[in-house]
Amino acid sequence: MTQYDRPYSIGIPIYEGVDLMDVAAPFEIFNWMGHYWSLDPVAPRHVKVQLVAASMATLKTRDGLILTPDATYNAFGGSKHLDLLWVPGGEPKDLSRMMKDSAYLGFLQEQSPAAEWVTSVCEGALLLASAGLLDGYRATTHWAFIACLKSYPEITVADGFPRFVVDGNRVTGGGISSGLDEAFELAARISSYAIARRVQEVTQYFPKPPFRGDIPQPGKCPLDL
């Protein structure tokens, strides 16, 4: 069996209080990637994007939207592993809880060795950091949580406020909307730039904000680490 005989497996481990766009943006971009990749005349491949959680119980995002998991942690292991692990951020109190959740962190640790890509967006980097999966890597996170990420001495925090940072097979994104740029970069690297451009066209992702803002100067870490 070759790699193309099975779907490219992408898992987004969700939890109560997760940021909606941290989940929805990659979910849509990666599914569009899968649509066009499956039509590739030379090397077609299917993509399976799943929301993963500790149980199949529904969860509410930070803003109250209900999400239904597709699978539990126990569905993965051995030869059935994720090719891409995407870790989303969330509401601070829920994020703090998940940073100490042994089942969630254990799932990240179990899946990362076989994954082609280990990624996060926004405060999801703090979950990867808590699992020890960013040690020795350069990374970023939401501007308000830069000080939190700097509390992990084995992680090199990128200067400034990059939309995303790629270091080896670790990809970390900045604030919530950064997940779109990050997902497009991953789509290009996973499938092809041609497929990523088709996804850009179909989603009409040609951003031109109606105004220009400035990122505030980060303060101290808002979490009790």
Chain-centroid distance, C-alpha 189 = 15
As annotated, the active-site residues are: 122
The residues near 95 (Cβ < 8 Å, ≥ 6 apart) are 17, 89, 123, 126, 127, 223
Cα–Cα distance for residue pair 182/175, rounded to 1 Å: 11
Q: DSSP string spanning 177-223? A: THHHHHHHHHHHHHT-HHHHHHHHHHTT-----SS---PPPP-S-SS
Token reading at 188: 């290009």
Instruction: Output the furthest CA–CA distance in the chain (Å, rounded).
Output: 52
Which helix (DSSP H) or strand (DSSP E) does residue 34 occupy? helix 20-38
Cα–Cα distance for residue pair 107/75, rounded to 1 Å: 11
Which helix (DSSP H) or strand (DSSP E) does residue 49 occupy? strand 47-53
